[in-house]
Amino acid sequence: MISAADAPRNARSPRKALAGALALGVHVLFVLLLIFGVSWQTRRPAPVMVDLWQALPEPSAQPPARPQPLPPPKAPEPVKAAPPPPQPVEKEPSPPEAPDIALEKRKAEADRLKKLQAAKAAEEKAKAEEKAKAEEKAKAEAARKEREKQAAEQKRQALLRQMEAEDMKQQLAADTAANEARMTSLSEARAAASKRQAEVASVVGRYRDQISAKVRGNTRLPDDLKGNPQVRCLVKLLPTGEVVSVRVTQSSGNPAYDEAVVRALEKSSPLPLPADRDARAAFVPELSFVHRPKE
Amino acid sequence: MTPEIGQDLSLFHLILHASLPVQIVMALLLGASLMSWWFIFIKMFSIKRAIQVTDRFEREFWGGGDISAIYQRVAGEREGAGEMERIFEAGFREFMKLRPQTGLSLNAIIDGTRRAMRATYQRELDGLESHLAFLATVGSVSPYVGLFGTVWGIMIAFMGLSSVAQATLAQVAPGIAEALIATAMGLFAAIPAVVGYNRYTHDIDRLANRMESFMEEFSNILQRQVTSKAP
């Protein structure tokens, strides 16, 4: 007889929903981890280009500072409204447009300034921009104070304009100074390159000494050697320092001695070589080797 | 494929801009990973529960309880019973049915009981081992699927390179990066699946051993019961 109790039981349903939620959770967690992990990693090595300046470039910093002191005197004095517009092209238009109060004086002043400027530019190369900056600041400050104080005095206008002209020239000077700074940074880079060369040279010298010491240790000098004759060999090297071939390019006159040096070189294989790529270039693939019995 | 140097190579950017086959592979792998984790958790729950219930039943059975009382309890809780409890129930029910029948030898009774237990044992083992094959498949195949996606993506990246005069790393790097994501996903799907598969087959083997020894021992007990009553 077969009853319902005989029927095989189904395995009870496991907690499928919970398992599904957990599986999703694992993936969400992993993706979050990846997003944060990867975004942290990608942000770190962002390339940054740096220009080295000895001082901040003056011209770019000045224009925003300029307009501020000017407006206040403009408002109370309608006569003063003239100076601001010609400012950018001050050099040429200012003389004709200016009132005739101090034309002569101004011309003389301008001449003097030009000369002064030329002298300055010529003599001060390294410190020009610092000085210019300081002077400029001081002058801007003074100009502002004067303007505020003597807004009523029209006499001073010409003087003010002169000062502005001076400022413009100083701006130019600052420009040239910035250029000079750039030049100096360039020359610094060149200096760094030459420093690197010097480093390489010192490494090369050190290894040259090591090589000759090793060869010297392996040299068996012939008995009949007299004096301190010099042998010059051309050694072909593998990058590992292995000696491929040795050829005498300048004999000492004593064949036995030449032979001894060649043997010593072959015996010294591998020669010590610097790890630095640039320094290694002095040795591989060919090395001109000079040997003297007595150093 | 124009290389966008300096553009952010965020993960989603790479995935969204991957070529279609690579995207299909990625979707496949994501599905496989989700499924395998789902099965891993299902198996984790069910195997843990099976071990717990088996422990409890063995303690009860060997604790000297009355066999028919245990049978009553197990037969009562049909759905909540564990694997070993069901084997016990099937064997004991068969035994109870066979024993009153006259003309059956002792061996016949015990054999019948054992067959009933064996059948239930097979069924239970089958239930425990379900889905494990899927885990094994994911564990062995998904790295290859991911590798396929990667190879395809790199192929596309290099094909794009052929049209430009000057080849730079920046032109292939995004393509290779996006292609490598496929391999990463394949490994991400495969590693848990392999670990889960090994872990669960080990657990199930141990459970199966326990069930088999229980079957033998229970047969002995029943045999003793019959021989002590028969004469």
CB proximity B134 to A under 8 Å: no
- Tell me: the pLDDT tens digits for B23-80? 899 999 999 999 999 999 999 999 999 999 999 888 988 887 788 888 888 888 767 7
Residue from B42, B43, B96, B187 whose CB has the most chain A CBs within 10 Å, to mutate: B42
Query: What pLDDT, on a 0 to 100 scale, did the predictor assign at position B60?
Result: 87
CB proximity A11 to B under 8 Å: yes
- The DSSP secondary structure of B70-97, one letter per residue, reads HHHHHHH-TTT--HHHHHHHHHHHHHHH
CB proximity A24 to B under 8 Å: yes
Query: What pLDDT, on a 0 to 100 scale, did the predictor assign at position A6?
Result: 52
How far A31 CA sits from the closest chain B CA (Å)? 9
**Which of A19, A38, A42 shows the shortest C-beta gap to B42?**
A19
- Tell me: the pLDDT tens digits for A168-199? 888 888 888 888 888 888 888 888 888 888 88
CB proximity A14 to B under 8 Å: yes
The 3-state DSSP class for residue B103 equals coil
Query: What pLDDT, on a 0 to 100 scale, did the predictor assign at position B116?
Result: 92
The average pLDDT across A144-167 equals 78
How far A50 CA sits from the closest chain B CA (Å)? 17
**Between chain A and chain B, how many beta carbons pairs sit less than 8 Å apart?**
59
Query: What pLDDT, on a 0 to 100 scale, did the predictor assign at position A39?
Result: 64
CB contact under 8 A, B42 and A15: yes
Residue A29 burial (C-beta neighbours within 10 Å; 0-12, 13-18, 19+): exposed
- Tell me: the pLDDT tens digits for B70-115? 888 888 876 777 888 889 989 988 988 888 887 778 888 889 999 9
**Among A5-19, B143-157, B178-192, B195-209, which is the least confidently predicted range?**
A5-19
- Tell me: the pLDDT tens digits for A72-120? 444 444 444 444 544 444 444 444 454 555 677 777 778 888 878 777 7
CB proximity A18 to B under 8 Å: yes
Of residues A290 and A29, more confidently modeled: A29
How far A1 CA sits from the closest chain B CA (Å)? 10
How many percent of chain A have pLDDT more than 70?
72
Query: What pLDDT, on a 0 to 100 scale, did the predictor assign at position B136?
Result: 94
Nearest residue to A99 via CA among A85, A112, A84, A83: A83
d(CA B224, CA B172): 78
- Tell me: the pLDDT tens digits for B42-51? 999 999 999 9
Domains and CATH numbers, chain A: 58-192 (no CATH), 221-291 (3.30.1150.10)
The strand pair at A243-250 and A231-237 is best described as antiparallel
Q: What would the two tokens of residue B144 be?
A: 């290859």
CB proximity B46 to A under 8 Å: yes
Does residue A162 surpass a pLDDT of 80?
A: yes
The average pLDDT across A260-282 equals 81
Boundaries of every domain in chain B: 11-229
Query: What pLDDT, on a 0 to 100 scale, did the predictor assign at position A101?
Result: 58
